[in-house]
């Protein structure tokens, strides 16, 4: 289904790279009109960052861009051209939301600070999502998603026991914490506007947003004064609780015994009567005290088996277990995602048919189907004509002036 839940809501969307566009994508997937303001001379970095169809570079061939911008309309305007401001003001006057994830001050320098925009569109919802917030001594620190992991404790706590910090293998805060906190805030602002007629500014510091996702660790430290040391995949409460090597090349399975009854079931599955009958291992506390012995027994069993059979054998007895899936496994083999129709194919003029993640839920039993991402500047002229009512001559003049790219 292609839901039109947000039909009639228009964004002047200045976001680029990862976190910002991933947030506004949710709105286009639900029927809002997202006018993606982007330049050709200074394109969205993920348009030039790849991966590209067949590994061949092209400004319309980036899969990363495609996955963040489904259903949007692309308006190619050179922001650095001083003449572009009036056109952009006209777009903003016709929009409910203006969004950006530039550093502090960038929008102000372009003439699109909150006060500037409010002057021409008093009830605007203004989403800004700079890394460290709009003001303060570190507001101008430059960063990427991993920088956010670094300053929030997320990187510190991700690593092997007894070794240094490694951090998530991705720019993790860009892909859920920040885009979805932002989307939730925009929906709240839309409701507030519906009730009061007033807009608002949303200053989403990506660091502050991400610390909420580290909230359990933060509050525990605040209460106990103790910061948990890195444990790899182990748990301070449960054992076994780890990722175990299985037969095959780089094959692994996570196994987590969260209840003593699951320990008994695990011992039966692996056929180890000595472990099963050892009273010192009957409780989590006892197993934690002999963690090396417990894990060695499990590892010896998994090492000779493929991860699917390990997972199935344990799950059949109610023991939480799951193989460590690569993207290849998720896309080609995972029976659950296949059953639920998670991967959907979208056709694109330059990329061709490509597969994308669906929004991660079923809505009334159906998938939200994605509309294809735009070519750069694909909708410039129709937006100027249809939304702003510009005559063809005016559009041609803007193109001649270099406002339109």
Partner 1 sequence: MSQVRPYGGTRIIDLTRELGLYAARLFADLGAEVIRIEPPQGGPDRPVPAATGGSEQATATGVQFAFLNLNKKSIVIDRKTPSGRAVFEDLVASAQIVICEPGPDEPDLVAELIAVPGHRVVTVVSYFGTDGPYSGFTGSDLVVQALGGIAYLSGEPGRTPLALPARQSLFVTSLYTAAATAIALWDSERSGGSHVLDISAQECIAHSLQNAVQVYDLENRILARGGEGIRDATESAFTCKDGYVFLAAPLALSASWSGLLKWMEEEGFDGLARLREPDWADRPTRAQAPMRAEFRALFERFIADKTKAELGAEALRRKIVMAPVSRIADLHTDPQLVFRRYFQKVAMPGLGREVSFPGAPYRLSEPVWRIDRGAPALGEHDEDILGRASSKIAHR
Among 40, 106, 258, 291, binds partner 1 (CB under 8 A): 258
- CB closer to partner 1 out of 182 and 395: 182
Strands 354-357 and 343-346: antiparallel
- CB closer to partner 1 out of 75 and 287: 287
How far the first Cα of the chain sits from its last, in Å, is 34
Give the Cβ contact number of residue 386 at 10 Å. 10
- CB closer to partner 1 out of 32 and 387: 32
Give min distance, CB of 282 to partner 1, in A: 14
Among 109, 191, 293, 371, binds partner 1 (CB under 8 A): 191
141 binds partner 1 (CB under 8 A): yes
Among 1, 315, 382, 391, binds partner 1 (CB under 8 A): 315
- CB closer to partner 1 out of 211 and 403: 211
Q: Cβ(128)–Cβ(202) under 8 Å?
A: yes
- CB closer to partner 1 out of 112 and 390: 112
Subset of residues 359 to 378 that bind partner 1, contact rule: CB under 8 A:
359-365
* Interface pattern 101-130 for partner 1 (x via CB under 8 A): -------------x----------------
User: What are the strands, taking DSSP E only, across 231-334?
Assistant: 241-245, 252-256, 321-323
313 binds partner 1 (CB under 8 A): no
Give min distance, CB of 398 to partner 1, in A: 30
The C-alpha atoms of residue 153 and residue 159 are separated, in whole angstroms, by: 12
Give min distance, CB of 108 to partner 1, in A: 16
Strands 321-323 and 343-346: unpaired
- Name the helix (H) or strand (E) containing 276: helix 273-277
Q: DSSP letters along 86-133, please?
A: HHHHHHHHT-SEEEE-PPTTHHHHHT-SHHHHHHH-TT-EEEE--TT-
Q: Residue 174 catalytic?
A: yes
Q: DSSP letters along 211-259, please?
A: HHHTHHHHHHHHHHS-PPPP-TT--SS-SSEEEEE-SSTT-EEEEE--S
Among 40, 59, 106, 243, binds partner 1 (CB under 8 A): 243
- The pair of three-digit structure tokens given for residue 46, joined into one six-digit string: 């993920």
162 binds partner 1 (CB under 8 A): no
Give min distance, CB of 63 to partner 1, in A: 3
- CB closer to partner 1 out of 294 and 404: 294
CB burial class (10 A; 0-12, 13-18, 19+) of residue 8?
exposed
Among 115, 162, 223, 304, binds partner 1 (CB under 8 A): 223
Catalytic annotation, pick one of 116, 123, 174, 278 = 174
Active site residue ranges = 174
């Amino acid at each position: 289904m292609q839901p039109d839940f947000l039909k009639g809501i228009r964004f002047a969307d200045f976001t680029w790279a990862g976190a910002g566009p991933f947030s506004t994508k949710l709105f286009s997937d639900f029927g809002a009109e997202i006018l993606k303001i982007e330049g050709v001379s200074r394109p969205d970095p993920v348009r030039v960052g790849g991966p590209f169809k067949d590994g061949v570079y092209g400004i319309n061939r980036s899969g990363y861009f495609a996955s963040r911008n489904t259903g949007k309309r692309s308006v190619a305007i050179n922001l650095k051209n001083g003449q572009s401001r009036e056109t952009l003001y006209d777009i903003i006057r016709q929009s409910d939301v203006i969004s950006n994830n530039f550093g502090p001050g960038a929008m102000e320098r372009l003439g699109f600070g909150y006060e500037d925009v409010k002057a021409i569109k008093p009830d605007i919802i203004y989403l800004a999502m700079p890394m460290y917030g709009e003001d303060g001594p570190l507001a101008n620190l430059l960063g990427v998603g991993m920088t956010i992991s670094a300053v929030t404790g997320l990187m510190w706590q991700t690593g092997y026991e007894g070794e240094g910090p490694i951090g998530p293998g991705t720019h993790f805060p860009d892909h859920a914490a920040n885009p979805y906190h932002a989307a939730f805030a925009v929906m709240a602002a839309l409701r507030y506007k519906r009730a009061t007629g007033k807009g608002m500014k949303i200053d989403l510091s990506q660091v502050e947003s991400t610390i909420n996702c580290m909230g359990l660790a933060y509050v525990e430290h605040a209460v106990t004064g103790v910061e948990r040391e890195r444990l790899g995949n182990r748990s301070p409460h449960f054992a076994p609780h780890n990722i175990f090597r299985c037969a095959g090349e780089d094959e692994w399975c996570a196994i987590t015994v969260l209840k003593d009854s699951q320990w008994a079931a695990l011992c039966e599955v692996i056929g180890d009567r000595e472990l099963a009958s050892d009273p010192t291992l009957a409780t989590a506390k006892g197993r934690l005290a002999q963690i090396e012995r417990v894990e060695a027994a499990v590892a010896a069993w998994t090492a000779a088996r493929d991860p699917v059979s390990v997972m199935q054998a344990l799950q059949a007895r109610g023991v939480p277990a799951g193989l460590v899936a690569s993207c290849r496994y998720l896309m080609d083999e995972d029976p659950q995602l296949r059953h639920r129709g998670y991967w959907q194919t979208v056709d694109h003029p330059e990329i061709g048919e490509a597969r994308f993640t669906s929004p991660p839920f079923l809505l009334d039993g159906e998938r939200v189907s994605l509309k294809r991402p735009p070519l750069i500047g694909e909708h410039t002229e129709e937006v100027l004509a249809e939304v702003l009512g510009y005559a063809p001559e005016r559009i041609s003049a803007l193109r001649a002036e270099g406002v339109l790219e």
